[in-house]
């Protein structure tokens, strides 16, 4: 989508008092950050579909300690979700209410245990921010491809907690990245539906849903209900 202000870039404000670079030390939560451009189309859809899938499979409003958020590299700070994105979420049974757009800031990357981006360009932008983000930042479709190659039996059992399982999943995916490459460059992209008709938003919603399904299954150990 077109950047709302050519003079703006990725946010660099430090909004967390005493913020520190990520070291995997926090044990009470696992934060998943979805990133796109404006944070009004793709990343809100991905955020809310992830939350919906976790709640559907776990039946737990806390989702086992998983926190799902989103932001945009040119985020429309405080903006509502696009109406077509809301419509797509409603068709999936997910809740679009209460969403406001955010510009991607250092603090979001610092806090995230896993960053999933819409495109390779977004991934590169997140990694360029530093904060040891390289090993925990993937495009959504890249992460899906890697997760599908991981034997669930090699992950910590759910009895050890979902946070430990999620961290192990990210480490395993990072270890596979250099060995399991995308068949084409486009295979790791989720294209921007901004300004497109509802039919295109639906196709993007379907892409995102299909990419999320193996990821949520691996995180929770619970397959989607048929």
pLDDT of 133 reads 96
pLDDT of 116 reads 98
pLDDT of 33 reads 98
Distance CA 113, CA 170 (A): 8
For the chain (length 226 residues), average pLDDT per consecutive 10? 36 31 57 97 98 89 83 94 98 96 96 97 96 95 97 91 94 92 89 97 98 96 81
Cα 165 from chain centre: 17
Rounded to two decimals, the pTM is: 0.88
| DSSP character at residue 219 | H
pLDDT of 21 reads 30
| DSSP character at residue 22 | -
Residue that has been written with the tokens 């050890």 in this structure: 160
pLDDT of 27 reads 63
pLDDT of 52 reads 95
Give strand ranges (E) for 47-110. 66-72
Residue 100 region, left (φ>0) first, then alpha (ψ -120 to 50), else beta? beta
Backbone phi, psi, residue 39, to 5°: 60, 40
Asked if 47 and 71 count as a contact pair (C-beta separation under 8 A), the reply is no
């Amino acid at each position: 989508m077109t950047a709302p202000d050519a003079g703006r870039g990725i946010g660099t404000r430090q909004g967390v008092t005493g913020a520190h670079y990520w070291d995997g030390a926090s044990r009470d939560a696992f934060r998943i950050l979805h990133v796109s451009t404006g944070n009004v189309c793709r990343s809100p859809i991905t955020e809310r579909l992830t939350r919906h899938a976790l709640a559907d499979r776990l039946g737990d409003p806390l989702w086992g300690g998983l926190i799902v958020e989103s932001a945009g590299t040119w985020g429309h700070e405080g903006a509502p979700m696009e109406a077509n994105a809301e419509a797509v979420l409603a068709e999936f049974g997910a809740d679009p209410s209460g969403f406001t757009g955010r510009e991607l800031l250092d603090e979001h990357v610092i806090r995230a245990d896993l960053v999933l981006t819409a495109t390779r360009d977004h991934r590169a932008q997140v990694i360029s921010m530093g904060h040891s983000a390289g090993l925990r930042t993937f495009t959504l479709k890249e992460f899906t491809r890697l997760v599908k190659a991981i034997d669930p039996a090699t992950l910590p059992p759910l009895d050890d907690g979902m946070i430990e399982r999620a961290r192990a999943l990210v480490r395993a995916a990072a270890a596979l990245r250099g060995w399991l490459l995308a068949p084409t460059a486009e295979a790791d992209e989720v294209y921007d539906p901004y300004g497109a008709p509802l039919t295109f938003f639906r196709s993007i919603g379907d892409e995102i849903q299909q990419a999320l399904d193996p990821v949520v299954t691996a995180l929770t150990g619970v397959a989607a209900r048929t």
